[in-house]
Amino acid sequence: VIPALFINALPVSQLTNDKKMLITELLDAFYERFEKTTIDMLLLDRGFFTKEVVEVLVKRKVPFIMPAVKNNRIKQLVKQYEKGELPDKIKFRFGNVNVYLTFMKIEDEVFVFMTNTRKSPMNVHLLYKKRWQIETNFREQNKYIFKTKTKNFTIRYLAFVLAGLIFNLWQMTRNKLVYKPESYLFKQFLKQELLCSWQTISKRSVIKSVDYLLA
């Protein structure tokens, strides 16, 4: 079984919060690192529900699922679906590309997803539920971020990336062992190892390493 792993991260600020640029850079980085790998399914949150992002994904033939933002146009379609005037999956023109919208009513709520696949509404819904594992992984990853009050963006980004690498180490360790250590136990083990290593490493070499990373 291949464990869930942290692969990449891009720093985001008010100045760099261009969703099309972010998704393009992430895809480019992924294919550059994993040349012979294809993406089976990309699960995005509704923050990426823009015409520009969807056009990139469709043109690059990346299969995706994301919840639709319930704007006036989507709300009108939901009303039609609830009245029985629409099937649970329809073709939808979004920007310059054609995609699908799926509808599924659970209790009193209608869930609307956008996808460029031919999967049924039930399969779309079940696949997207797996995205919650990503949220769980981030909560576990955040346990490894070193505490800092600095507002320096570079240091905070470095802390996040280091936490991701440690999270990967924990996941790969769990994958190899019969006994699956919880994250807090793995964190305690790392602390002990680092304390032992600290005694054999000069502070000057550590400072030089940090200066090199932040240069």
Task: Write out the two tokens for 147.
Answer: 């505490």
Write the burial class of residue 169 (CB in 10 Å: 0-12 exposed, 13-18 middle, 19+ buried): middle
Does 143 have pLDDT greater than 80?
no
Domain match, 88 and 61 both = yes
pLDDT of residue 203: 56
Note the pLDDT tens digit of each residue in 91-129. 999 999 999 999 999 999 999 999 999 999 999 999 998
Domain match, 122 and 139 both = no
Domain match, 104 and 138 both = no
pLDDT of residue 197: 59
pLDDT of residue 213: 47
Domain match, 111 and 151 both = no
b/e per residue 110-145 (b: at least 16 CB within 10 A): bbbbbbbeebebeebbebbeeeeeeeebeebbeebb
Domain match, 83 and 148 both = no
Domain match, 101 and 144 both = no
pLDDT of residue 173: 74
CA 171: distance to chain centroid? 16
**Amino acid of residue 98:** N
Domain-terminating residue out of 102, 130, 158: 130
pLDDT of residue 149: 76
**What percent of the chain has a predicted confidence (pLDDT) above 70?**
70
Question: How many structural domains compose the chain?
Answer: 2
Q: Predicted confidence band at 1 (pLDDT cuts at 50, 70, 90)?
A: very low
Is the residue at 69 inside a domain?
yes
b/e per residue 56-81 (b: at least 16 CB within 10 A): bbbeeebbbbbbbeeeeebeebbeeb
Other CB atoms within 10 Å distance of the CB of residue 103: 22
Strand order, beta sheet including 64-67: 42-43, 64-67, 109-115, 97-106, 89-94
Cβ within 8 Å of residue 25, ≥6 positions away = 10
CA 142: distance to chain centroid? 14
b/e per residue 21-55 (b: at least 16 CB within 10 A): ebbbeebeebeeeeeeeeeebbbbeeebbbeebbb
Q: Which of 42-56, 131-145, 177-191, 196-210 is predicted least confidently?
A: 196-210
Average pLDDT over residues 60-74: 96
pLDDT of residue 206: 55
**Within 13 Å, how many C-alpha atoms sit on residue 133's CB side?**
10
**Residue bearing the bigger pLDDT, 124 or 146:** 124
Angstrom CA distances, 13 to 17, 22, 125, stand at 6, 11, 31
Q: Are strands 109-115 and 64-67 parallel, antiparallel or unpaired?
A: antiparallel
Is the residue at 160 inside a domain?
yes
pLDDT of residue 130: 81
Q: What pTM does this model have?
A: 0.69
- Rounded Cα–Cα distance for residues 80 and 62 (Å): 29
- Which of 145, 153, 162 lies closest to 13, judged by CA? 153
Domain encompassing residue 192: 134-214
pLDDT of residue 132: 72
Does 195 have pLDDT greater than 90?
no
Is the residue at 13 inside a domain?
no
